[in-house]
Chains A and B, each alone.
Chain A
Amino acid sequence: MLKINNLKVSVDGKEILKGVDLSINEGEVVALMGPNGSGKSSLASAIIGNPKYEVESGKILFKDENLLTMTPDERANKGIYMAFQYPVAISGVTVREMLLTALRAKNKEIVVSALDLKNAVEKEAEKLHINRELLSRGLNEGFSGGEKKKMEILQMRVLKPRLLILDEIDSGLDIDALATIAKNVAEMVKEMKMGVLVITHYQRVLSYLAPDKVAVMKDGLIVEQGGSEVVDRLEESGYQSFE
């Protein structure tokens, strides 16, 4: 579904990704691990089309379509969704208003009913143990770290992407919240064969969301790919073992 080939990306003229190869299939959970500054989040930014990340060469194909010529919204409407590590606040805009606009931008032919959406949002909020009061506040405005992360997952549940990128989802989350989020993600993998790229520094999240494949990134390159045994190796000897 997602195929990344020899991807080189720079920020402000500095090369961050130095030829990354990675693929994710439908219904597959891929963990991307690596120390801070290895380029994990840069890869995520390049996939969603953050203009600060300049693609120097290489390819990103999504269902055989070239993502690199698409704007972030076009990519989103193809089914790519990222749960941000630090979601930005949008004052005065509720999650419902945002999702309604997003859904209407995506499906121009189908009329999305505001009432249906309201019900869907409330249902998901309940499943994620999100306080209803947050639904009528400005998006992410004054939310705690955990509330923001849950709200990212709520949006994902409503938008139903084909590929989900979780960028350091476990940072600032307690165990219960992490378990809830993992459960809601796993459901989507099972029910609609959503692919997931789990970007993480720590192993913790992977005990809740079992990866089919694990890739390790260092200095802008994938230095190791394998099954869950890679996680075990990291557990024992840390990132030094991938020198």
Chain B
Amino acid sequence: MRYAKKEIIPEVSIDESYKLSGRDDIAYAYKGERGLDEKVIRDISAMKKEPEWMLKKRLEAYKVYLSKPVPTWGGDMSPIHFEDIYYYLKPAVTEKKSWDDVPASVKETFEKIGVPQAEREMLAGVKGQYDSEVVYGSLKKTLAKKGVLFLSMDEALKQYPEIVKKYFGTIVPVGDNKLAALNTAVWSGGSFVYVPAGVDVGLPLQAYFRINSESAGQFERTLIIAEEGANVHYIEGCSAPSFSSASLHAAVVEVIVKKNAKVAYTTVQNWYKNIYNLVTKRAWVEEKGGMRWIDGNLGSALTMKYPSCILAGEGATASMLSIAWAGKDQHQDTGAKMIHLAPNTTSQIISKSISKNGGRATYRGMVQINKGAVGARSKVVCDALILDDKSRSDTYPVNKISEEDVILEHEAVVSRVSEEQLLYLMSRGLPEHEAEAMVVNGFLEPVMKEVPMEYAVEMNRLVELEMEGSVG
């Protein structure tokens, strides 16, 4: 089966309006070209005027990408036709699209959530960026004063090549996995965040308030570096459905948390339901550093995402809080990996999934405690709520423990909304769908209470919309 590109994507040709760095001639070279070869990668790098080392890295990654088979574990990736994908044309596509081309179901959801028109166009990929100068202007000045760098990866590579070179690909190396290798070969867009030692950024940095950014990219590459004692919360994505012409998204996120630094990374993923979202996210956490992933996965056809933390320094802490919603024709294959390398490191995974209308939610997680990580502790809670008989939930936890003096707790509960619960709430006056939504929201509460409030509210609203079956 081919994914339904034709049905929902307006025919887009790359014509004379395609502009990139004012170099229309190069852009023309891509007209109608699908698939990937070395020339495409060289062209991407040339168009971006990248340093030689980045091109080398891309080519090296491309070889790895070719050498590795498509993973057969996890979700079904067979509908992805890698040879049909445009690996670098998004700027043209986003500029060419008009509001009229956005599917009605996406527009309806924007209505229901109450997203302003300007933001809707940005989210729908109609406009390349959200005009957020007003909102963002003062924050940008404050950040600049503190020495915080927050810009797109493309810009960062131009402006701060030495920092990028030092860290790029150190946490997720070229050979890590096929999709990460693909990302490294063709990456474009994504965020770069650098927080100097001792700086507390305060307000969360939100990807969609980033100036000069493209809307969510196909092969985004994000790099976050928190120097000693720094503190930053980065928020990626947003709760409205991200409509995109691309059907494969293979992002890579690398986070470096130095001694005593704290990083939180929040994602609310609500991709349009034709998208294959295959993401590699990993953090390196040094002595007494803290990393926290907060992850909400609501959209996409298939999401495979297992944010990881490598607890490399003594006393490092890490947590992963996630919710996944798997509706009709959706498979959310998500989880986390916690790798304890050092003594007295602590990790926590709380994963909550809901499946409905034939959706499938899979928890896939790993806790690894290496020899020498004395006093390490890890707690894993993975709960699944199944809303009807058509839907499915699976749990694949793996523990690799090579040290004796450790504490590992694991809880997994699969539950259904019971008739008794529905009757009880209905007997208080709640209509059936509200009663069901209430049980679901209660189930998600342990994660939602950790999520920044405006995101929790939006996620709750989205879950309710999904429950009504009214989101496309």
Chain A residues within CB distance 8 Å of chain B: 48-52, 71-73, 75-77, 81-82, 84, 87-88, 90-93, 97-99, 101-103, 105-106, 138, 155, 159
B interface: dominant SS: helix
Q: Are A82 and B442 in contact (CB under 8 A)?
A: no
- B423 interface residue (CB < 8 Å to A): yes
Q: Are B445 and A90 in contact (CB under 8 A)?
A: no
Q: List, sorted by A's number, 5 A–B pairs whose CB atoms are closer than 8 Å.
A: A48-B423, A52-B419, A71-B431, A97-B438, A98-B428
Selected from B418, B429, B441, the residue in CB contact (under 8 A) with A88 is B418
Selected from A81, A91, A99, A105, the residue in CB contact (under 8 A) with B427 is A81
Chain B residues with CB below 8 A from A50, complex form? 423
Asked if A76 meets B445 with Cβ closer than 8 Å, knowing A50-B423, A90-B438, the reply is: no
Chain B residues with CB below 8 A from A87, complex form? 424
Selected from B419, B431, B442, B444, the residue in CB contact (under 8 A) with A90 is B442
Selected from B418, B429, B443, B445, the residue in CB contact (under 8 A) with A159 is B429
Instruction: Enumerate B410-453 residues with CB–CB distance to A below 8 Å.
Output: 418-421, 423-432, 434-435, 438-439, 441-446
Chain A residues with CB below 8 A from B431, complex form? 71, 73, 105
- Bound CA–CA A91/B426 (angstroms): 16
Asked if A92 meets B445 with Cβ closer than 8 Å, knowing A73-B431, A101-B434, A105-B430, the reply is: yes
Asked if A98 meets B426 with Cβ closer than 8 Å, knowing A92-B443, A105-B431, the reply is: no
Chain B residues within CB distance 8 Å of chain A: 418-421, 423-432, 434-435, 438-439, 441-446
Q: Are A93 and B445 in contact (CB under 8 A)?
A: yes
Q: Are B438 and A71 in contact (CB under 8 A)?
A: no
Chain A residues with CB below 8 A from B418, complex form? 88
Q: Are B428 and A76 in contact (CB under 8 A)?
A: yes
Please give me the residue from chain B that is nearest to A78 by CB atom. Answer: B429
Closest chain-A Cβ to B276's Cβ sits at a distance in Å of: 32
Please give me the residue from chain A that is nearest to B385 by CB atom. Answer: A91
- Bound CA–CA A155/B429 (angstroms): 12
Chain A residues with CB below 8 A from B445, complex form? 91-93, 138
Chain B residues with CB below 8 A from A81, complex form? 427-428
Chain A residues with CB below 8 A from B443, complex form? 91-92
Asked if A98 meets B427 with Cβ closer than 8 Å, knowing A88-B418, A93-B439, the reply is: no
Q: Are A106 and B429 in contact (CB under 8 A)?
A: yes
Q: Are A88 and B420 in contact (CB under 8 A)?
A: yes
- Bound CA–CA A157/B424 (angstroms): 17
Closest chain-A Cβ to B222's Cβ sits at a distance in Å of: 32
- Bound CA–CA A64/B375 (angstroms): 70
- Bound CA–CA A82/B442 (angstroms): 22
- Bound CA–CA A93/B442 (angstroms): 5
Closest chain-B Cβ to A63's Cβ sits at a distance in Å of: 16
Chain B residues with CB below 8 A from A103, complex form? 429
Closest chain-B Cβ to A87's Cβ sits at a distance in Å of: 7
Q: Are A72 and B426 in contact (CB under 8 A)?
A: yes
Closest chain-B Cβ to A139's Cβ sits at a distance in Å of: 8
Chain B residues with CB below 8 A from A73, complex form? 426-432, 435
Asked if A92 meets B424 with Cβ closer than 8 Å, knowing A101-B438, A159-B429, the reply is: no
Closest chain-B Cβ to A152's Cβ sits at a distance in Å of: 10
Q: Are A138 and B427 in contact (CB under 8 A)?
A: no
Q: Are B441 and A92 in contact (CB under 8 A)?
A: yes
- Bound CA–CA A110/B144 (angstroms): 49
Please give me the residue from chain A that is nearest to B448 by CB atom. Answer: A92
Asked if A159 meets B427 with Cβ closer than 8 Å, knowing A92-B441, A92-B444, A97-B438, the reply is: no
